[in-house]
Amino acid sequence: MLDKKAKDKIIKKFKTHDTDTGSTQVQVALLTEEIKQLTEHLNMHKKDFSSRRGLIRKVAERRRLLNYLYREDEAAWEDIVKKLKLKTPKPEEEKTDIIEERDEAAKKEKKTKESEQDK
């Protein structure tokens, strides 16, 4: 959990206008900092599965926010990814990779079924 000073510092750095406290960019930046802290905690406490579940939820939430930002404003997405030094593929590339992997798996499964039927 972030303390108030750290949160205010992040909000000040990533806000899009003067009164901004909850834009997508700010939310992604806050989640990224929380993810970093949870990752450090889990490196020390490997069996803390409830915190691991929280980490997974935060990562998924950040992914959803980044996908939304990419759809709405690709330039802002690129900017936040560079500022936070995230290693995320563009959402389009990610989907095509998943589809290709699924198609390859289906072809392999089909071949194995055909070879079993030939026997």
Residues 12 and 67 in one domain: yes
Question: Are residues 64 and 104 both part of a single domain?
Answer: no
Same domain, 32 and 69: yes
- CA angle (100, 87, 85) in 5-degree steps: 160
Same structural domain, 63 and 34: yes
State the pTM of this model: 0.75
Are 83 and 114 in a shared domain?
no
Backbone angles phi, psi at 19, to 5 degrees: -100, 15
Here the tokens at position 82 are 């560079």
89 Cβ contact list (under 8 Å, min separation 6):
97
In a shared domain, residues 49 and 64 = yes
CA atoms of 11 and 23, how far apart (whole Å): 9
Domain housing 30: 4-87
Tens digit of each residue's pLDDT (9 = 90 or more) over 80-106: 999 999 988 887 766 666 677 777 888
Give the pLDDT confidence of 24-35 residue by residue, as tens digits. 999 999 999 999
Residues 78 and 116 in one domain: no
CATH of the domain at 36: 1.10.287.10
Determine contact, residues 6/33, Cβ cutoff 8 Å: yes
